[in-house]
Amino acid sequence: MMQAKHLFVWLTALGLLSACAEKDDCGVADTVQEITQVDSGQTRYYLYLKTSGVSDKASFLVLYDHKPSFDACGRADRDAIGEAYVDADRGAPVRAVFAHDTLDIQYVEQAGDSASLQNIEIVVRND
């Protein structure tokens, strides 16, 4: 009887280990949403909102210079050219400025403003 309990424990542990060893097992997947696209010069830029976390969610604007695709965990198949944390305490994001390899978010105070990320402006400076 004792051997059967040990066998059950070992088989359960082995099952849990193999279930957690999947290469796409990411625990909690990031959610990714395309916000907008903009053409600048010869390049089309793609702006995405990436949200990470379970209860304390963190949001980031992520900029790509080619359209990415994402796996089940929310990981892109290419590197972003810019990423910036969306700080809701600073107000509503109205503009994402990419210059000198840096993505910067500009805000307006939210008192009465209901700026949506769907309406955010992208500015690309190639100087």
Do residues 36 and 49 lie in contact, with contact meaning Cβ atoms separated by under 8 Å? no
User: For 5-19, 37-51, 94-108, which range has the lowest pLDDT when averaged over its residues?
Assistant: 5-19
Give tens-digit pLDDT for 53-85.
Answer: 888 889 999 999 999 999 999 999 999 999 999
Q: Give CA separation, 75 vs 44, 48, 55, 63, 112, in Å.
A: 20, 12, 20, 14, 35
| pLDDT value for 14 | 55
Give tens-digit pLDDT for 15-27.
Answer: 555 544 455 678 8
| pLDDT value for 75 | 94
Give tens-digit pLDDT for 83-113.
Answer: 999 998 898 899 999 999 999 999 998 655 5
Rounded to two decimals, the pTM is: 0.75
Degrees to nearest 5, angle at CA 25 with 24 and 31: 85
CA distance 117 to 4: 58
Residue 21: both structure tokens together: 């060893």
SS3 47: strand
DSSP for residue 55:
S
Q: What are phi and psi of 45, to 5 degrees?
A: -105, 145
Reply yes or no on whether the pLDDT at 46 is more than 60: yes
| pLDDT value for 4 | 60
How far, in whole angstroms, is CA 69 from its chain's centroid?
Answer: 12
